[in-house]
Amino acid sequence: MTEPLLRVRDLKTYFVTEQGSGTARAVDGVSFEVQPGETLGIVGESGCGKTVTSLSILRLIPEPPGHIRPGSVIEFEGRNLLTLEPRELRAIRGNQIAMIFQEPMTSLNPVFTVGDQIAEAAIVHQGLSRRVARTRAIDMLRLVGIADPEERVDHYPHQMSGGMRQRVMIGMALVCHPKLLIADEPTTALDVTIQAQILELLDRLQAELGMAVMLITHDLGVVAGSADRVAVMYAGQVVEQAPTAALFARPLHPYTEGLLASVPRLDAPPAREHGRLHSIPGQVPAATAWPDGCRFHPRCPYAWERCRAEMPPLLDAGGEGEPGTHTVRCWLLTEPRRRTPHP
Amino acid sequence: MPALVDVQGLVKHFPGERALLGLGRPRAVVRAVDDVSFAIAPGETLGLVGESGCGKSTVGRAILRLIEPDAGRVTIDGQDVVALGARPLRALRRRMQIVFQDPYGSLNPRMTVRQMLAEPLAIHRIASGADAQRRIAALLEEVGLDPSFAQSYAHELSGGQRQRVGIARALSVEPHFLVLDEPVSALDVSIQAQVLNLLAELQRGRRLTYLFIAHDLAVVRHIADHVAVMYLGKIVERAPAPALYAGPRHPYTTSLLSAVPVPDPKAQRQRIVLAGDVPSPAHPPPGCPFHPRCPHPKKDARCRTEPPALREVAPGQLAACHFAEQPL
Ligand SMILES: Nc1ncnc2c1ncn2[C@@H]1O[C@H](COP(=O)(O)OP(=O)(O)OP(=O)(O)O)[C@@H](O)[C@H]1O
Ligand SMILES: Nc1ncnc2c1ncn2[C@@H]1O[C@H](COP(=O)(O)OP(=O)(O)OP(=O)(O)O)[C@@H](O)[C@H]1O
Ligand code: SF4
Ligand SMILES: [Mg+2]
Ligand SMILES: [Mg+2]
């Protein structure tokens, strides 16, 4: 296997909350790798720690109230980002690692034209002149599929639709040809038609530019078509990780199973014919109060005493590939016969 | 059976805003809703689907007269809603309620859940005192919330819990008809399923009639008996749900269906990715409003000039496309 582009080991990012409600262990021992050129999907419900994980990689966690715990490792091309000088970090951030955020409207500045905002990154990181950077901005708008880029370059964000703003964000992120793009729910606020456009655009750009992508979403349907591998997060931890085909063919963690079953599908009979849509009962607990034992046990249809008492480690699920290709944080792997839901 | 909700020729245009300081030319009129008709039988659900800005919420609000329609006839529970004076309209309001999309913005941040639920009971003089408290406890239970949530404020609730409070609030006045304006769009898939199941249960238990607004055809499939697809202020296809999903006749419906992500990496689907954005409803294209984005191979000069009428192309299935007989 080649050297990974990004290696995250035992990442712990905690927040000390006000009013003494305790420490929010938003990300609590997360490990994964991203290979050059591949797409890693990160999936989980709201509050599972997906955004905090990506902000930690860029070291954009507000300190205080947040901090990355000692012992955490984030290596990019073999260099530990957590020990870099601010100057070295700036040279990587926005240049070699870029991010598109969840909210396209709030992350574009309303008082600058989209062209100026795209050009800015190229001026800061690559020392281009204003004139050359403007040409680069027009090229980026064209690359992300915006019609009339020469005219659009002088428009302000409010003159564009949600889908166009998200394209501008992608153009801005890609202007320095990063090796890694972190896309945090790039399509969640958009119509399905525009979502399909953006996902196709990301696929195409990835093939053309050879970059790696971390695609963050709460919808397993979105990663199925785009990701090479998927990490499922629950309550600040990775609970299952596998190549995409293996994960969908054999979802082993009860949380993955539940997430997959709750996606409304067009390729299966509608729930009306069976009565109910599958749903996971309850909700993600607060990050200050993760349950003891397996953090999923209060919502799990299989849980037994051991689940309430002991936290399961990431266990190897076997299957194709080398050991560690498909890992699952669930005691069922040690007692498969318990895989029958309680009434 | 006579329809519970009957809408004929509904029109709502918004006046074009003037540029800054009222100077300059006034902007073009926004044709948010342009001649929309449908009916919903008692106890049934009509799913109203389309992209952002196509006029779905405006339809929902205009039929409840939360905004005044410019033209059209709306009958709910046998009453002509458009002609109604203020007082009878207030009485009818008890029979028709709306649940909004945004579970974050639609609840008063300074009220507890109990106060939010007590308010409509007081306004409509339904219950007060101990009787109101009993009803509130029963409502919370009905929407699957622990009674202890009565003391909570909106910011202390998750998205799914807020949406349950919004539903409980709408149900408190015992309506017959609910407009559900994207009730699950802002929720995670797992919580979406919880809320959809709840809505289906309530419908069965209370014999409710729903207008269910969504931008995603996959979500609507699990709750709708009929589906209407909107594009730029007009209904472009309307059919019983099984017929629409099995055999869409309008290329826009086909495109919307194909855009839904399928959670199966092996699925070899022919994805139709629509080019471009929805045009502005202030400047709808001439001819068929969908023609600039339409992927139909037979698209021709007629599509650019002659607006296709919404017509029956199969029993109960209406489509507004010149080539509805040769669907994509
Ligand atoms: N600044 C902060 N202070 C305290 N807690 C925080 C802070 N930022 C995040 N958290 C907590 O960390 C947990 C993880 O949050 P995060 O934003 O990473 O979730 P997410 O998986 O991205 O969810 P979503 O799908 O809603 O974006 C949440 O419980 C959140 O409340
Ligand atoms: N009060 C208003 N004044 C002017 N224009 C309006 C007003 N309300 C809505 N519009 C316009 O009417 C059109 C239809 O809006 P509407 O909110 O009904 O769309 P929608 O289908 O509900 O979209 P979404 O999915 O984004 O909620 C849009 O172009 C919108 O900008
Ligand atoms: S460890 Fe137990 S509670 Fe946790 S997911 Fe597995 S079966 Fe469920
Ligand atoms: Mg997030
Ligand atoms: Mg709307």
| Closest chain B residue by Cα to residue A222 | B261
Residues 6+ apart with CB under 8 A from B139: B117, B168, B171, B172
Torsion angle of C-alpha atoms B40, B323, B283, B254, degrees rounded to 10: 60
Q: Is the CB of A30 under 6 A from ligand 1?
A: no
Count up the domains in chain B and report the number. Answer: 1
Pocket test for ligand 1, best of A13, A27, A43, A51 (most atoms within 8 A of CB): A51
Q: What is the pLDDT of residue B286?
A: 93
| Closest chain A residue by Cα to residue B51 | A191
Residue with CA closest to ligand 3 atom 3: A297
Pocket test for ligand 3, best of A233, A234, A255, A297 (most atoms within 8 A of CB): A297
Structure tokens of A277? 């849509």
- Give me the average pLDDT of each 10-residue run along chain B (328 residues): 92 74 63 95 96 91 94 93 90 89 78 93 90 92 86 84 89 93 85 89 93 92 95 97 96 93 78 77 90 93 96 96 94
Residue A71 has pLDDT above 90, yes or no: yes
Residue A103 has pLDDT above 70, yes or no: no
Pocket of ligand 2 (CB under 6 A): B 14, 30, 32, 50, 52-58, 215, 281
What is the Cα–Cα distance from A300 to A308, expressed in whole angstroms?
A: 11
What is the Cα–Cα distance from B66 to B84, expressed in whole angstroms?
A: 13
Instruction: Please report, for the domain that includes residue B265, its CATH number.
Output: 3.40.50.300
Cα B93 to ligand 3 centre (Å): 48
Q: What is the pLDDT of residue A105?
A: 53
Q: What is the DSSP letter of A273?
A: G
What's the rounded mean pLDDT across residues A114-118? 92
ipTM topping 0.85:
no
Q: Report yes or no on B127 lying in a domain.
A: no
Q: Which amino acid is at B24?
A: G
Residue A162 has pLDDT above 80, yes or no: no
Q: Which amino acid is at B176?
A: H
Are the Cβ atoms of B200 and A262 closer than 8 angstroms? no
Residue with CA closest to ligand 1 atom 27: A46
User: What is the per-residue pLDDT across A306-324, written as a single tens digit (0 to 9) for each?
Assistant: 999 999 999 999 887 788 8
| Cβ-based contacts of B271 with chain A (< 8 Å) | 196, 200
Residue B11: domain span: 5-43+54-95+223-319
What's the rounded mean pLDDT across residues A146-173? 84
| Closest chain B residue by Cα to residue A191 | B51
Residues of chain A with pLDDT > 70, as a percent, come to 95
Check: CB of residue A293 under 8 Å from CB of residue A307.
Answer: yes
Q: Report yes or no on B216 lying in a domain.
A: no
Q: Report yes or no on B163 lying in a domain.
A: no
Q: Report yes or no on B132 lying in a domain.
A: no
User: What is the per-residue pLDDT across A36-64, written as a single tens digit (0 to 9) for each?
Assistant: 999 999 999 888 999 999 999 999 999 88
Residue A26 has pLDDT above 90, yes or no: yes
Q: Report yes or no on B119 lying in a domain.
A: no
Q: Report yes or no on B142 lying in a domain.
A: no
Tokens 């926004």: give the residue.
Answer: B30
Q: Which of B64, A96, B9 is nearest to A88 (CA)?
A: A96
User: What is the per-residue pLDDT across A199-255, written as a single tens digit (0 to 9) for each?
Assistant: 888 888 898 888 999 999 988 888 998 899 999 999 999 999 999 999 999 999 999
Structure tokens of B240? 């019983």
Residues of chain A with pLDDT > 90, as a percent, come to 53
Long-range CB contacts for residues B149-152, cutoff 8 Å, separation at least 24: B149/B113, B150/B112, B150/B113, B150/B114, B150/B117, B151/B112, B151/B113, B151/B114, B152/B112, B152/B113
User: What is the per-residue pLDDT across A259-296, written as a single tens digit (0 to 9) for each?
Assistant: 998 888 888 777 666 678 888 888 888 888 899 999 99
**Average pLDDT value for chain A:** 89
Q: Report yes or no on B168 lying in a domain.
A: no
Burial B17-32 (b: 16+ CB within 10 A, else e): eeeeeeeeeeeeebbb
Residue with CA closest to ligand 2 atom 14: B55
Q: Which amino acid is at B201?
A: E
DSSP letters along A188-231, please?
A: TTS-HHHHHHHHHHHHHHHHHH--EEEEEES-HHHHHHH-SEEE
Q: What is the pLDDT of residue A198?
A: 83
What's the rounded mean pLDDT across residues A59-86? 93
Residues 6+ apart with CB under 8 A from B20: none
Mutate to test the interface with B, among A148, A193, A203, A280 (most CBs of B within 10 A): A193
Q: What is the pLDDT of residue A104?
A: 56
Q: Report yes or no on B243 lying in a domain.
A: yes
Q: Is the CB of A331 under 6 A from ligand 3?
A: yes
Q: What is the pLDDT of residue B6?
A: 97
Task: Report the predicted TM-score, pTM, of the whole model to 2 decimal places.
Answer: 0.89
